[in-house]
Structure formats: C-alpha cells, structure tokens
C-alpha cells in the first residue's frame, strides 16, 4: 500500500467498499501512523541519525503551498532506503542546526564531504553541524546562473521586439494599411526568433539541429551580445567538464573573469562575484567531482510521491509515508 490514495480507491471499487473510508482506516489503524515515534514533531522535523554517512547532500524542497523543508540525505544509499537523514521545516539556519545537533557529535564528525547550493544559510548549516566535512558547491547551480543570465538578455530583446511590433501595428492602422511583419531568412519573424531561440541557448552547438543552427546564425547576427553571453556560458560549462584538477580550473576561471570584465554586462559580473565569494567550495568540486545530483534526484522522488497523493493535505502523514520508503 505504498501508493495509499490510489490503492484504497482501487481496492474499494474492487470490493464495493467506500475508498475514502478505507483510506482513513489505513491511516488511523493499519499503517502504524498513530504509533509513529516522531509523529508529535513530524510537521517541524524528522530525524534518522542511523542513516548518516561520510558523503552527504544538503538541499531544500517544497511540499505544499510554498512551505520549504531543508533535507539532508546520504549519498551512499543512492536514493533508496536509508537515504533520508533529516527533514526540517524552513531554511532558517539556527532551526536546522538545532535539529541536526541532536545527532551525536561523534557521528557528525565522521562526515567527510557535503554538497550544497550557493545559499549562505546552507553553508552555515553545514559548517556548524559537520565541522570536519569539506563543503562542495554544486556546479550545476553555478552553471544555471550563467544560463539564466543568457536567457535574461534574450527576454530583454524579446520585449523590445514586441514593443516595436506594437508600434508598427499602430502605425499601419493610422495609415489604414494591413500590417505584415518582416519574415527573416529562416522563416521566423523577429518575435518568433527570440521565442524559439530559448532552447538552443541552453544547449551546446554540437546538439543543435540543422534548423537551430540556421536560427542561431540569424539570432547572433542580429544580437551579438547574445552570442557573447552564450559563449561565456558555454565556456564556464567547459571549465567544469574539461578541467582535470583544481589548479587547472583555477587558471581557467581567472581567464573567464577577464572575458566577463570585457563583456561589461551586470548579470555576468554578478556571477563572477558569486563565484569569487564561493571560490574554495567551488574548487572543491574538482577533488572528487561531487555534485548535488543525488539531492535533486531525491527532490524529484518527493515530488513524484506528492503527485501520487494528489497534493499534500496532511503533511505529517505524507512525511510518515516518505520515511517508510526512504528512511
């Protein structure tokens, strides 16, 4: 009965029972939920110190109505039973630290490495809770910043194109003429070009289709700043993919900073400063090439379970089901 809401409905129809009542009976009696040792504080936190390991992931997830929970998982469990160590409501560092300090200090000191995002709160939680662990900033979060910056430039040009089109439509009406938009050599209008370029700007050139190659040629000719931004984003990605060690990565990042300074776009300067402020943790990636992918995978499983429950109406019972599977 792992998929309780679905199973109860199916069983109810099969045996001509009230599926909703059966579900209530399952939660109240059959599941063991009411005798769960962590029920009293489950909405605020759940903790499984026995699942701690040497390599952990720290992340956050949303359960319902925007409520965030900080999640600590053990990478060695590979997203299966024993993966979940702790879930704490909110992302306030002091609150999460207080819960994690319930884990014996001897166990916390055995943690060797923690991957996390770029949030200062996550850094503080990791440092205070696991003093012997090496912190590793997730490279995918760094790369996403650059990708988002490229999209921001594309969106800026798209709004300008929409505004220009509106002006041309209004002018055509004044002249009592039919407005006909200019069609570019690849078959797109300017507005369509900027909308349809979204996905190719996320991909490497080697993955572009023939039509995307043609579209990119038109796009980069009309908007050279997008070409520069795209190249910087791909260059940053290549540093993580191709650098063999932290020294090589350090040198390449220094050259990347120089290119960013020449580009003189605020969003990329912000990314450069973010990398500088998290330099040591980002370079730690090149020691073992550890990422927060396991945490993202666990988040996906939480969302999948939430979808099976058709949302989370009873958070405590949802967490009870979650820990049954992953803790």
pLDDT tens for the chain, 327 residues: list them: 444 444 555 555 555 555 555 455 555 555 678 888 999 999 999 999 999 999 999 999 887 777 889 999 999 998 888 999 999 999 999 999 999 999 999 999 999 999 999 989 999 999 999 999 999 999 999 999 999 999 999 999 999 999 999 999 999 999 999 999 999 999 999 999 999 999 999 999 999 999 999 999 999 999 999 999 999 999 999 999 999 999 999 999 999 999 999 998 999 999 999 999 999 999 999 999 999 888 888 888 888 877 766 666 778 888 888 888 888
| 199-217 pLDDT, tens digit each | 999 999 999 999 999 999 9
Asked whether residue 148 is assigned to any structural domain, the reply reads yes
Number of domains in the chain: 3
Q: Which residues contact 52 (CB under 8 A, 6 or more apart)?
A: 74, 85, 103, 107, 108, 110, 111
Task: Give the structural domain span for 193.
Answer: 140-288
Pair (251, 319) in one structural domain: no
Pair (133, 106) in one structural domain: yes
d(CA 128, CA 99): 12
Pair (159, 251) in one structural domain: yes
Asked whether residue 224 is assigned to any structural domain, the reply reads yes
Pair (199, 276) in one structural domain: yes
Pair (123, 166) in one structural domain: no
Pair (156, 101) in one structural domain: no
Asked whether residue 293 is assigned to any structural domain, the reply reads no
Pair (169, 243) in one structural domain: yes
Mean pLDDT, rounded, of the chain: 88
Asked whether residue 259 is assigned to any structural domain, the reply reads yes
**For position 97, which CATH number holds?**
3.30.420.10
pTM over 0.85: no
Pair (59, 197) in one structural domain: no
Pair (163, 206) in one structural domain: yes
Nearest to 48 by CA among 106, 102, 98: 102
Q: Which residues contact 162 (CB under 8 A, 6 or more apart)?
A: 191
Pair (147, 273) in one structural domain: yes
Pair (106, 197) in one structural domain: no
Asked whether residue 117 is assigned to any structural domain, the reply reads yes
Pair (53, 178) in one structural domain: no
């Amino acid at each position: 009965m792992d998929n309780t809401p679905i199973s109860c409905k199916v069983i109810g129809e099969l045996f001509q029972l009230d599926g909703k009542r059966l579900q209530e009976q399952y939660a109240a009696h059959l599941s063991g939920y009411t005798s769960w040792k962590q029920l009293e504080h489950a909405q605020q936190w759940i903790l499984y110190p026995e699942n701690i390991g040497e390599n952990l992931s720290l992340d956050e997830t949303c359960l319902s109505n925007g409520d965030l929970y900080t999640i600590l998982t053990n990478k060695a469990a590979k997203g299966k039973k024993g993966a979940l160590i702790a879930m704490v409501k909110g992302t306030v560092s002091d609150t999460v630290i207080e819960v994690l300090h319930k884990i014996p200090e001897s166990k916390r000191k055995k943690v060797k490495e923690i991957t996390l995002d770029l949030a200062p709160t996550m850094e503080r939680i990791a440092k205070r809770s696991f003093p012997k662990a090496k912190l590793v900033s997730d490279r995918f979060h760094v790369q996403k910043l650059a990708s988002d910056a490229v999209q921001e430039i594309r969106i800026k040009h798209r709004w300008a194109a929409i505004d220009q089109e509106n002006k041309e439509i209004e002018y055509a009406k004044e002249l009592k003429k039919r407005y006909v938009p200019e069609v570019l050599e690849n078959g797109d209008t300017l507005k369509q070009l900027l909308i349809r370029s979204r996905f190719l700007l996320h991909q490497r050139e080697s993955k572009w289709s023939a039509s995307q190659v043609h579209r990119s040629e038109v796009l980069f000719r009309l908007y050279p700043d997008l070409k520069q931004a795209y190249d910087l984003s791909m260059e940053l990605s290549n540093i993580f993919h191709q650098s063999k060690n932290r020294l090589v990565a350090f040198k390449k990042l220094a050259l990347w900073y120089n290119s960013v300074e020449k580009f003189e776009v605020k969003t990329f300067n912000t990314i450069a400063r973010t990398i500088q402020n998290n330099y040591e943790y980002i370079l730690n990636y090149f020691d073992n090439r550890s990422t927060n992918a396991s945490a993202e995978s666990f988040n996906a499983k939480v969302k999948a379970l939430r979808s099976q429950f058709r949302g989370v109406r009873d958070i405590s019972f949802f967490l009870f089901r979650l820990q049954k599977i992953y803790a």
